[in-house]
Amino acid sequence: MPWSPAATRGSASRSRGLAAGGAGFAYNASKTALNAFTVLLAKELAPEGFKMNVINPGFTATDMNGHTGTRAAADAAGTVLRWALISPDGPTGGFFTEGGRVPW
Ligand SMILES: NC(=O)c1ccc[n+]([C@@H]2O[C@H](COP(=O)([O-])OP(=O)(O)OC[C@H]3O[C@@H](n4cnc5c(N)ncnc54)[C@H](OP(=O)(O)O)[C@@H]3O)[C@@H](O)[C@H]2O)c1
Atom of ligand 1 nearest to the CA of 30: 47
**Cβ contacts of 60 within 8 Å, gap of 6 or more:** 69, 70, 71, 72, 73, 75, 76
Tell me what pLDDT residue 9 has: 55
Q: How far is the CA of 64 from the centre of ligand 1 (A)?
A: 6
Please give the Cα distance from 62 to 69 (Å, whole number). Answer: 7
pTM: 0.83
pLDDT at 96 over 60: yes
Domain locations along the chain? 5-101
| Residue 78 CB neighbours (<10 A) | 13
Pocket residues: Cβ below 6 A from ligand 1: 12, 14, 56-57, 59-60, 62-65, 69
Angle, alpha carbons 7-10-14 (nearest 5°) = 165
pLDDT tens profile 14-32: 655 545 556 688 998 999 9
Fold of 5-101: Rossmann fold (3.40.50)
Tell me what pLDDT residue 67 has: 97
Tell me what pLDDT residue 20 has: 53
pLDDT at 89 over 70: yes
Please give the Cα distance from 10 to 76 (Å, whole number). Answer: 13
pLDDT tens profile 48-85: 999 999 999 999 999 999 999 999 999 999 999 999 99
pLDDT at 1 over 50: no
Confidence of residue 104 (pLDDT cuts 50, 70, 90): confident
